[in-house]
Structure 1
Amino acid sequence: MATVGDKKLDKTTPDSAWKDILTAEEYRIIRKKGTEPAGSGKYNKFDSEGTFVCAGCQAPLYDSNTKFSSGCGWPAFYDNLPDTVDRHTDMTMGMKRVEITCKNCGGHLGHVFEGEGFNNPKDERHCVNSVSIKFKPKS
């Protein structure tokens, strides 16, 4: 996990610390539940072996083997690493959606959609903001 000085970054990290650590865009998306424009993220059409970690706290979230091309305009994964992502009901768009956040720091990742007919083992699409993740190549 990332640290600032001797402080571990997690759900108890104060908002003031996140403002110091993250860029304005990262803060808007990760801490304020924003969304980057479709097709603008650097990981949308990215295809390398490794692990995607939380851009806020560096907690591992997704293995590159679960990333797939969904055509939605954001990076898509069909499953997260075990016990790394929380799901919450989100009614902000006037309909029920499922928001996904980093289990460690609570940072907003995006939304998960089920039953869309994608040919993957779970028929899920974790629609994740590129700003919310960073890539660590397989060593």
Structure 2
Amino acid sequence: MSFCLWNSSEKYRDFWKSGIYVCVECKHELFPSVAKFEHNSPWPAFHTTVWEHSLKKKPEPMSSSALKVYCGKCGNSLGHEFLNDGPDGKSRF
């Protein structure tokens, strides 16, 4: 996610208030808070988007099991979707 940091200071990983997560660049609605799930990575994880067009995804060239995820409106980089890494081992979106 664009608001995530790798250095363990990610403030939204353990943030559980209800609401909508939005892109930090253009405020496009991305994920509802009810779609957030517990995960072992330092980043927050979601299994559903707010809108069908909330995200754009492209295959990650260096990995056959990951997709690069972008904001569906402005193209801001949001992170990765790893196949079979969602709740219950299913793909996320």
- TM-score (norm. length: structure 2): 0.82
Superposed displacement of residue 125, structure 1: 4.3
In structure 1, the partner of 2:91 is 124
Structure ID, larger Rg: 1
Q: Deviations over 1:88-117 (max 9, x none)?
A: 1122xx323200100100000001122236
Larger displacement relative to structure 2 (75-84 or 36-45) = 36-45
Whole-Å separation in 2 of the counterparts to 1:48 and 1:119? 23
Counterparts of residues 1-139 of structure 1 (less than 5 Å) = 30=2, 36-37=5-6, 39-82=8-51, 83-91=53-61, 94-96=62-64, 97-116=66-85, 118-119=87-88, 123-125=90-92
Structure 1's consecutive aligned runs of 4 or more residues displaced over 3 angstroms after TM superposition are: none
Identical-residue share of aligned pairs (%): 28
Whole-Å separation in 2 of the counterparts to 1:65 and 1:98? 23
Over aligned residue pairs, what C-alpha RMSD do you find? 2.3
- TM-score (norm. length: structure 1): 0.57
Q: Is the 8 A contact 1:38 1:72 kept in 2?
A: no
Question: Is there any run of 5+ residues in structure 2 with no aligned partner, and where?
Answer: none
Decide whether aligned partners of structure 1 residues 69 and 62 sit closer, same or farther in structure 2, where only a CA change above 3 A counts: same
Report the structure, 1 or 2, having the larger helix content: 1
Whole-Å separation in 1 of the counterparts to 2:86 and 2:38? 13
- Other structure's SS at 2:87 match: coil
Whole-Å separation in 2 of the counterparts to 1:66 and 1:102? 17
Report the count of equivalent residues: 90
Query: Greater relative contact order (Cα 8 A, min sep 6): structure 1 or 2?
Result: 1
Q: Deviations over 1:66-108 (max 9, x none)?
A: 00111111010011122110011122xx323200100100000
